[in-house]
Chains A and B, each alone.
Chain A
Amino acid sequence: MADAEVIPLGTFGRPGRGSGSARPSAAARNLARGRRPPRPAVQNATTERQQAVQPEPVTTSCTAAHDREPAADIPAGDWLGAISTASKEVFGEGWEPRLAEFLAFLRRRLTGDYRVDEFGFDQEVTERFFLAAIRPIAQKWFRVEVRGVENIPVEGGALVVSNHSGTVPVDGLVTGVTIHDHTGRHLRALGADLVFRLPVVSEIARKSGATLACAEDAERMLSSGELVGVWPEGFKGIGKPYSERYKLQRFGRGGFVAAAIRTGVPVVPCSVVGAEEIYPLVGNLPSLARLIGAPYIPITPFFPLLGPLGLLPLPSKWLIEFGEPIRTDSYDEGAADDPMLVFNVTDQVREAIQQTLYTLLMQRRSVFH
């Protein structure tokens, strides 16, 4: 059995069965006549296509250089036709009303034909830009999981009190988007006066519905039936070192509780887990911060070490839980001026948030998922 015939299995990418030739055999070609054979291999397919194309004249191809017209000679109508076809391909059938709507929106913005409320809140631009920009960050990057949305009143004034963390106040923005997506209401944030002193930040803050955290504005917003958000820890909360994560700082002077009692609106405690880990604050430069008037200058494991890349927040998994509302409408007239009562209610809110934080931390499997 020395001269046993070797029958190769497979074609090794060549046409024919082990013929070794680049061209298919005559028998194979006869078989293939009339219908396309299933492509046995890439190489084969290209050869076949070349063969098929070659005998035809090149009349239909407009990719040849001598055939192509300069772009300027194409009539504008064709351009617009092409654009409209392309838009249909990209945006689907309903592109035209949507484009018209977008153009109308542009015109309204350009001609100033829109309304802002007395705090400078621009609902249109908030919904179209600010919320739309933060939504993917909240949903895709931080994968926010929400609990207890039913505790947010559907209408009327209410005060959402939340813990504050994360070096950069991203938690406020994410809470705002989350509340808007679940209840359709806009969270009107109360911001520190530094926010309104900074260029650009102050403009965006006002347009997105924030106002200065002072008793007058808080009461004004609450009594006009808005959903107001407050982060009473302030800079003590977002600027605390990573080692103190999820430990609530002092809750200011309880001014927010006094405002809620005065207007008789419920206080909704909100606990955010996950924001502490986005920029772990491991160091601070207090003297430099004092020099430039900033509340703190953060040093995280990645910032300023990696430069701009260090500004990327870590993709921690977020849990936001809204607790049961604490009613304030049962107190009598002068209750807001009773410091003991105000302190007690403040402590009650603080305890509620702290307990929920611990519970959520127990339930969380790990920081990142």
Chain B
Amino acid sequence: MGRVVLVTGVSRDLGGRFARLVDADPAVERVVGVDMVPPGGDMGDVRFIRADIRNPVITKVIAKEDVDTVVHMSVIATPGTGGGRTSMKELNVIGTMQLLAACQKAPGLKHLVVKSSTAVYGSSSRDPAMFSEDMAPKRLPKSGFGKDAGEVEGYVRGFARRRPDVTVTMLRAANALGPVADSPMAQYFRLPVIPTVLGFDARLQFLHETDLLEALRQATTAGVHGTFNVAGDGVMMLSQAIRRLGRPALPMPSFAVSSVGSMIRRARLADFSPELMEFLTYGRGVDTSRMRNEFGFEPDYTTEAAFEGFRRAVGPGLVSAERVAGFEELVAGKLGSGRG
């Protein structure tokens, strides 16, 4: 008798790919996907049930399908097509509460995996260089995804106290980047000219999307209790990332960035939220030694490699590495030949 896994948020790109990945695992008997809208792509053998996790119908789904593992992937960072910030917050917080209420009523449940985010640590000037799992944020995220994720984590901790028999794994993932994934960060890096905060250079960590899926798969099958930071090794500076993309950066004072940010948001070029701006000012780093030692996960991609994968998918910008190298050769060659 294999495991029966329920995946929420399966119509989103990462959710769908995760459902297929975990379905291929021999230890898993079947996978049930839940979302409000049908998935766009091919879902393989994954059974899709159209349900809103914000209402109690999810209890019935868990009971009827005899689910023993719930993977909660619908804590979302982008409002997406389904409305604005209000519905995003409702989906994140009320959805999680409802899902956890359903889980609490399911006696057969053994594992709960929640995809959270390193956004729960917030970003501020008083941050330590590297957050480990037991550190509290220096300044609580006041709005947006970070706040949602923090609240979701609070409910999950409450659930873990009430159901000590369930193994609860919470993964705080760094910004996932890769050829496919779409996130506020990816949208930001796709802007033709990238606005940055003058006088600040954020430290960034990235996680390749396949590493994120692999970490979730391992959390589902291995079942290690606890909260873990998941991020690629190493750190990149924001300026460095923009240079690698070969796009021009446009540094401007922080008050100008916020107004430009809201303009970009209104023009639907990218989801430039106030908390993203804070992140781009101070950056954030997380310590991943617990992921390595206790969770036993080793990402295939470093931060730089994950970014490189994303860069290749995006394509070169105005000041691409090739052009700069070409210019260097031109200058060096001309000077060399001119010597004679």
Residues of A in contact with B (beta carbons under 8 Å apart): 76-81, 83-84, 87, 96, 99-100, 103-104, 106-107, 109-120, 122, 193, 196-203, 206-207, 211-212, 214, 216-217, 220
Are A112 and B128 closer than 8 Å at their CB atoms? no
Are B128 and A111 closer than 8 Å at their CB atoms? no
**Alpha-carbon separation in the docked complex, A220 to B129 (Å):** 9
Which residue of A has the minimal Cβ distance to B241?
A112
Are A193 and B125 closer than 8 Å at their CB atoms? yes
Are A103 and B328 closer than 8 Å at their CB atoms? yes
Please give, as numbers and ranges, the residues of chain B lying within 8 Å of A84 by CB-CB distance: 335, 338-339
- Interface segment among B42-50, B184-192, B230-238, B272-280: the answer is B230-238
- B285: which of A83, A118, A196 is its contact (CB, 8 Å)? A118
14 CB < 8 A contacts A-B:
A80-B335, A81-B338, A110-B319, A113-B244, A116-B237, A118-B130, A118-B285, A119-B203, A202-B199, A203-B199, A206-B203, A214-B126, A216-B128, A220-B130
Which residue of A has the minimal Cβ distance to B325?
A107
**Alpha-carbon separation in the docked complex, A103 to B329 (Å):** 9
Are A111 and B335 closer than 8 Å at their CB atoms? no
Which residue of B has the minimal Cβ distance to A82?
B338
The main secondary structure of chain B at its interface with chain A is mixed
Are A110 and B237 closer than 8 Å at their CB atoms? no
Please give, as numbers and ranges, the residues of chain B lying within 8 Å of A220 by CB-CB distance: 128-130
The main secondary structure of chain A at its interface with chain B is helix
**Alpha-carbon separation in the docked complex, A51 to B340 (Å):** 38
**Alpha-carbon separation in the docked complex, A150 to B8 (Å):** 62
Given A80-B334, A202-B199, 7 more pairs with CB closer than 8 A: A80-B335, A103-B328, A112-B239, A122-B237, A207-B237, A211-B129, A220-B128
- A212: which of B129, B241, B335 is its contact (CB, 8 Å)? B129
Ranked 9 nearest A-B pairs via Cβ: A199-B199, A80-B338, A112-B243, A112-B244, A200-B199, A216-B128, A111-B321, A112-B240, A197-B125
**Alpha-carbon separation in the docked complex, A203 to B325 (Å):** 27
**Alpha-carbon separation in the docked complex, A113 to B328 (Å):** 14
Please give, as numbers and ranges, the residues of chain A lying within 8 Å of B235 by CB-CB distance: 116-120
B51 sits at the interface (CB 8 A)? no
Please give, as numbers and ranges, the residues of chain A lying within 8 Å of B200 by CB-CB distance: 199, 202-203
B324 sits at the interface (CB 8 A)? yes
**Alpha-carbon separation in the docked complex, A214 to B136 (Å):** 14
- A110: which of B243, B335, B336 is its contact (CB, 8 Å)? B243
Are B328 and A120 closer than 8 Å at their CB atoms? no
Are B236 and A116 closer than 8 Å at their CB atoms? yes
B246 sits at the interface (CB 8 A)? yes
Give the contacts of B217-273 with A (CB-CB under 8 A).
234-237, 239-244, 246, 253-254
Please, how many residues of chain B have a CB less than 8 angstroms from a CB on the other chain? Answer: 44
| With contact pairs A103-B332, A112-B241 given, residues A80 and B337 touching in the complex (Cβ less than 8 Å) | yes
Are A111 and B201 closer than 8 Å at their CB atoms? no
Please give, as numbers and ranges, the residues of chain A lying within 8 Å of B336 by CB-CB distance: 96
**Alpha-carbon separation in the docked complex, A109 to B319 (Å):** 12
**Alpha-carbon separation in the docked complex, A198 to B7 (Å):** 44
Please give, as numbers and ranges, the residues of chain A lying within 8 Å of B239 by CB-CB distance: 112
Are B337 and A77 closer than 8 Å at their CB atoms? yes
| With contact pairs A79-B338, A212-B129 given, residues A107 and B199 touching in the complex (Cβ less than 8 Å) | no
Are B335 and A83 closer than 8 Å at their CB atoms? yes
Are A99 and B334 closer than 8 Å at their CB atoms? no
Are B201 and A120 closer than 8 Å at their CB atoms? yes
Please give, as numbers and ranges, the residues of chain A lying within 8 Å of B335 by CB-CB distance: 80, 83-84, 87, 96, 99
CB distance from A78 to the nearest CB of B (A): 8
Which residue of A has the minimal Cβ distance to B240?
A112
B1 sits at the interface (CB 8 A)? no
B57 sits at the interface (CB 8 A)? no
What sequence of 0s and 1s flags, for each residue 108-130 of chain B, a beta carbon within 8 Å of any chain A beta carbon? Answer: 00000000000000000111111
Which residue of A has the minimal Cβ distance to B254?
A199
Please give, as numbers and ranges, the residues of chain B lying within 8 Å of A111 by CB-CB distance: 243-244, 246, 321, 324-325
Q: Most chain-A CB neighbours within 10 Å: which of B254, B319, B331?
A: B331
Give the contacts of B103-152 with A (CB-CB under 8 A).
125-130, 132, 135
Are B338 and A83 closer than 8 Å at their CB atoms? yes
B313 sits at the interface (CB 8 A)? no
Please give, as numbers and ranges, the residues of chain B lying within 8 Å of A118 by CB-CB distance: 129-130, 203, 234-235, 285
Please give, as numbers and ranges, the residues of chain B lying within 8 Å of A197 by CB-CB distance: 125
B198 sits at the interface (CB 8 A)? yes
Please give, as numbers and ranges, the residues of chain A lying within 8 Å of B197 by CB-CB distance: 199
**Alpha-carbon separation in the docked complex, A106 to B203 (Å):** 22
**Alpha-carbon separation in the docked complex, A202 to B129 (Å):** 13
Please give, as numbers and ranges, the residues of chain A lying within 8 Å of B199 by CB-CB distance: 198-203
CB distance from A51 to the nearest CB of B (A): 40
**Alpha-carbon separation in the docked complex, A96 to B234 (Å):** 35
Please give, as numbers and ranges, the residues of chain A lying within 8 Å of B324 by CB-CB distance: 107, 110-111
Which residue of A has the minimal Cβ distance to B327?
A107
- B129: which of A83, A107, A110, A217 is its contact (CB, 8 Å)? A217
Which residue of A has the minimal Cβ distance to B336?
A96
- A119: which of B129, B135, B254, B334 is its contact (CB, 8 Å)? B129
